[in-house]
Amino acid sequence: MPDRHIVKSYDRDLEAIQALIMKMGGMVETAILEASQSLENRDEELAERVRANDSAVDELEERVNEEAARMLALRQPSAGDLRTVLTVMKISANLERVGDYAKNMAKRTGVLLQMAPIDGSSGAIRRMSMAVGGMLKDALDAYIQRDAELAEDVRLRDHEVDQMYNALFREFLTFMMEDPRNITACMHLHFIAKNIERMGDHVTSIAEQVIYLVTGEMPEDDRPKADRTAIEAPKV
């Protein structure tokens, strides 16, 4: 039964890649949460650790790409299996980007710890990070369980992250106008907030891949639009 043999080793290969994706996902989730923790607790050591850990995520992405390319070359997957392998590659690329944003956030935390803290900002940033971390966890669960409904829920939750970002943008503007000594810190904090908002976009993209994998169709782009600060001047 050579066919069955091929099918089985294909499944085994795919499971091995999925295990890498899950490992990557766990590491990236930790990075998001620890990056915001390091900011809130003014913990430079933790920020340093988040920065250092990112190379392990990058390595995992490379391994996923290599394994996926090997599968494509050796197993000549059918249309459905091919879609799965390509999805896996896209998901790992998105995870790598989210990890990168967490690393950048930790880098900026190092800079921010040299300045006076801005009232209430680190709590708001931690809340945003937790929202994105939760979305990421659910997006990966949705992938493993091939659960399009859960993936759709993740996609809709990105709107809340966008709203948190928009509120923070206005808050930072106000702080800067009140006291020019806040400007440098607020510029960095704003970057961090924008990075988390972008993480949310990448997680949404993972959720959309899951929907595509399960239903065969990409979701319509009826999601409320991301960053309102780009299309309306904030009223401060």
User: For binding to a second copy (CB under 8 A), which residues are involved?
Assistant: 65, 69, 72-73, 76-79, 82-83, 86, 93, 104, 107-108, 110-111, 114-115, 169, 173, 176-177, 180, 183-184, 187-188, 190-191, 194, 227, 229-234, 236
| One-letter amino acid of 126 | R
Smallest separation (angstroms) from a second copy to the CB of 56 = 15
Helices vs. strands in the chain: H and E counts, helices first: 6, 0
d(CA 161, CA 151): 16
Smallest separation (angstroms) from a second copy to the CB of 134 = 25
Angle at 90 between CA 89 and CA 92, to 5 degrees: 65
Smallest separation (angstroms) from a second copy to the CB of 68 = 9
- Residue 167: which of 183, 189, 188 has the closest Cα? 189
| Residues 44-75 as b or e (16 or more Cβ within 10 Å = b) | eebbeebbebbeebeebbebbbebbeebeeeb
Is the Cβ of residue 138 or residue 188 nearer to a second copy in the bound state?
188
Is the Cβ of residue 138 or residue 200 nearer to a second copy in the bound state?
200
Is the Cβ of residue 1 or residue 79 nearer to a second copy in the bound state?
79
| One-letter amino acid of 180 | P
Is the Cβ of residue 107 or residue 157 nearer to a second copy in the bound state?
107
Smallest separation (angstroms) from a second copy to the CB of 224 = 15
Is the Cβ of residue 110 or residue 134 nearer to a second copy in the bound state?
110
The answer to whether the beta carbons of residues 172 and 75 sit under 8 Å apart is: no
d(CA 2, CA 112): 61
Is the Cβ of residue 21 or residue 150 nearer to a second copy in the bound state?
21
Smallest separation (angstroms) from a second copy to the CB of 128 = 18
The two tokens of residue 66 are: 């290599």
Q: Which residue has the tokens 């440098």?
A: 184
